Structure 1
Amino acid sequence: WLEGKNADDEAEGLWRINDKLYDLSDFASRHPGGAFWIECTRGTDITEPFESHHIEERAREMLSKFESLAGLALCWVATSTHNFFHQRDSWRMYTFNLTMMNFRNWRVSHALSHHVYANSLHDLEMSMFEPFLCWIPDRHYASKTQRWISVDTIIDRGDIKWSDLLVLTHFGEHALHHLFPTLDHGVLKHLYPELKQTMKEFDVELREINHWGHIKGQNEQLLRIKKNTLPPASTRGANILGLFSSHSPSHLIIHMSVAKALAEAGHNVTVVSMLKPTITHKDITVIVVPMKKEQELVMENQMSKNSLFSTMNRILNDMDVMIKAQAELLSDPRFLRIYETKFDLMILGYFINDFQLGVAAKLKVPVIVDWMSAPVPIIEKFTEVFPAKDQPTLHELRKNISMVFVGCHLNSEGPIRALVPAIVEIGGIQVKDKPDPLPKDIDTFLNKSKQGAVFLSLGSNIKSSSNWLPQDDILAHPNTKIFITHAGKGGITEAQYHGVPMVALPIFGDQHGNAGVMEKSGYGVALDLLTITEDSLKEAVQKVLGNENCIVMTQDRSSWIGCSLGGLLVALLALQSMPQGSEGANILGVFTSHSPSHLIIHMSIMKTLAEKGHNVTVVSSMPPKSIKHIVVPLSAEDEKILNDGMSGMVKEKPSIWNTMKSIFSSLSLLIDKQVDVLEDSRFQELYLNKGNKFDVVFVALGARFNCPVIISWSGPPMMMVNEVLGNPELSSVPQMQIAVAAGQPMNFKQRVQNFASTLGFNALNMFLTHKYNGFYKRLWGNDKSMPTFEVAKRNVSLAFCNGHAISEGPIRPNVPGIVEIGGIQIKNKPDPLPEDIKEFLDKGRHGAILFSLGSNLKGEHIQPQVIETIFKGLSSVKQQVIWKWEDTKNTPGKSANILYKKWLPQDDILAHPKIKLFITHAGKGGVAEAQYHGVPMLALPVFADQPGNADKLAESGYGLQLPLASLDLDEFKAAIKEVIENPKFADKLKVFSQLYRDRPLTAQESVVYWTEYVIRHHGAAHMQSPLVHMGFVASHNLDIYVIAVLVLYILFLINKIVWKFVWRKLCGKSNKVAQKKKVKKQ
Structure 2
Amino acid sequence: MAPKNLEYLEEAQKRAYEKKTHVSFPQLKYPSLRDKGFRDPVQWLTGKALDDGAEGLWRIHNSIYDFTTFVDNHPGGAEWLELTKGTDITEAFEAHHLNPVVEKMLDKYFVKNTNTPRNSPYTFNEDGFYRTLKRAVREELKKVPKNIPNHTDRIIDGLFTTCLATAALTCWAKNYWIVMLSYLISSLTLAWTIVASHNYIHRKTNWRMYIFSMCLWSYRDFRVSHALSHHLYPNTLMDLEISAFEPIIQWNPRPDKPFFTYFTFLFQCLLYPFSFIINFVKRFLLNFVREDFFKNHYRWHDGIGLLLPIWMWVVSGCSFSDAIINWLWINCTSSFIFMVIGTTAAHHHPRIFKDGDEVRTITPDWGMQQLEAVMDRNDINGSLFKVMTFFGDHALHHLFPTLDHAVLPYLYPVFLEHCEKFRANFRVTSQFDLFVGQIKRTIERQFRLLDD
Higher relative contact order (CA 8 A, sep 6+): 2
The structure richer in helix per residue is: 2
The structure richer in strand per residue is: 1
**Larger CA Rg, structure 1 vs 2:** 1
